[in-house]
Amino acid sequence: MSVSRPAPEPPAGPEAQEHQRTYQVRTFGCQMNVHDSERISGLLEGAGYVPAEEGDADVVVFNTCAVRENADNKLYGNLGQLARVKESRPGMQIAVGGCLAQKDRDTIVAKAPFVDAVFGTHNIGALPALLERARHNDAAQLEILESLEVFPSTLPTKRDSVYSGWVSISVGCNNTCTFCIVPSLRGKERDRRPGEILAEVQALVDDGAIEVTLLGQNVNSYGVEFGDRGAFAKLLRACGSIEGLERVRFTSPHPAAFTDDVIDAMAETHNVMPQLHMPLQSGSDKVLKDMRRSYRSGKFLGILEKVRRQMPHAAISTDIIVGFPGETEEDFQATLDVVEQARFATAFTFQYSKRPGTPAAELPDQLPKAVVQERYERLTALQDRIAAEENAKQVGTTVEVMVTAAAGRKSEETGRLSGRSRDQRLVHFSVPDGAPVPRPGDLVTVPVTSAAAFHLVADPATPADYSLRRSRAGDAWDRSQADSCGVPAPAAEGAARAGVSLGMPALPPRR
């Protein structure tokens, strides 16, 4: 579909022919959106675009989320700011994709007629063609598919990090949670073949990554589509046989489908990290029923008990919604009780957001904002206390930290670097005088000297308290920096590509 509207003329003359068009991707939403944005970047670079280093880009792509109520306001606020920029920049283009585009379709073009392309969650690969058509036709291009065109992982990727990567194992969701709009936007669950997943993991490792995170709306229901309910545990174990892969994580599982074989695989596979994100949503069995979450608080706590029995030091995080329609003070107290028992390392807490098109939006007893806000503040105060107490238990221990490129807010002031421990805790650490400085992707072993609710601090007193292990991922970081500067860098040792040992049953091709 195209929508006619006046479009500024692109630059003309010799200077335009020499200009390589630049792009910028702005991402709102979950890890799935972040991974989709890597695909969008890969597609654009494959079409000849280059990242905008500074200033305004020739193409700005918004990859949107529709889960939260303020997603609409955030998008249109950003679009409004860019409208003025576009007026002064002939040839500039704006595209909107993702969940909000899938949901709102024509509304985006109606509210923002200066947008050049709108695409959905099922046809990311169409973006370069839509931009070209919009430029050629001087008309906005809207293309929304109702079912998946190609599995996103078959598209080219520009990864945000050389030392770690996302790997989608499935897309879509078969659950019917009353608060969630995701199934209607991303469709029914589609599972990738295990060999395809492991081949992508191997390719990431061959490129220098030492950490992968397996992604899906419900990762532990992986395999249901092709009739193997034990497939996710087998996939975790197969990741353990990939040489050079040091850290494996996954998100997000669903408590109703979480089985003991997955816990066994986590505990027995050397590179699966002692960290689990397990969405609770509510501690009230009544609210869970109203949410159409097919588990109850007792089962949830039972899963955590089993995990900790096999992995005593596992860090467990969660998602919680406050103020679901009909939630009473008694219901909310049940959530506080479960949080107190669960001892989460981290919790992502949200105030209930009424989303048109979801069953919960039509429920009676929608709660006043003031009530929801007050409960939210009580919950976050409780969780912050628990997180601080759990982190305080880490003081005096020694942790292995994978160094990241991102620095802490006070890094210039403190001189500390940052990274993630095996259980995914954020660690800010200092390098003792005279000790070697790590690169992003390298691993350091340091003593935890203090803690706060959201991070650990490690300040080794002497070089003897600090250990650095230079890694293949750090070598990959060096190469990426050299490539960006046009300077040749030596290849990492052992860079020859190895075959993939799948360790999983062969499956017939999908018809």
- The contacts found for 40-43 with CB under 8 angstroms, 24 or more apart, are 40/97, 40/124, 40/127, 41/157, 41/158, 42/155, 42/156, 42/157, 42/158, 43/124, 43/125, 43/127, 43/128, 43/155, 43/156
Q: Measuring CA to CA, how many Å separate 490 from each of 10, 159, 475, 480, 497?
A: 41, 21, 9, 11, 16
DSSP SS3 for 268: helix
Q: Is 239 annotated as a binding residue?
A: no
Residue 119: count of CB within 10 angstroms of its CB: 27
- The rounded distance, in Å, linking the Cα atoms of 424 and 401 is 9
Q: Is 177 annotated as a binding residue?
A: yes
> What phi and psi, each to the nearest 5 degrees, are found at residue 334?
-65, -35
Side chain identity at 295, as an amino acid letter?
Y
Q: Is 485 annotated as a binding residue?
A: no
Q: Is 99 annotated as a binding residue?
A: yes
Residue 406: count of CB within 10 angstroms of its CB: 13
Side chain identity at 112, as an amino acid letter?
A
- What is the DSSP secondary-structure string of 35-96? HHHHHHHHHHHHTT-EE--SS--SEEEEEE--SSTTHHHHHHHHHHHHHHHHHTSTT-EEEE
Q: Is 173 annotated as a binding residue?
A: yes
- The rounded distance, in Å, linking the Cα atoms of 75 and 28 is 9
Residues at the binding site for [4Fe-4S] cluster are 30, 65, 99, 173, 177, 180
Binding-site residues, in ranges, read 30, 65, 99, 173, 177, 180
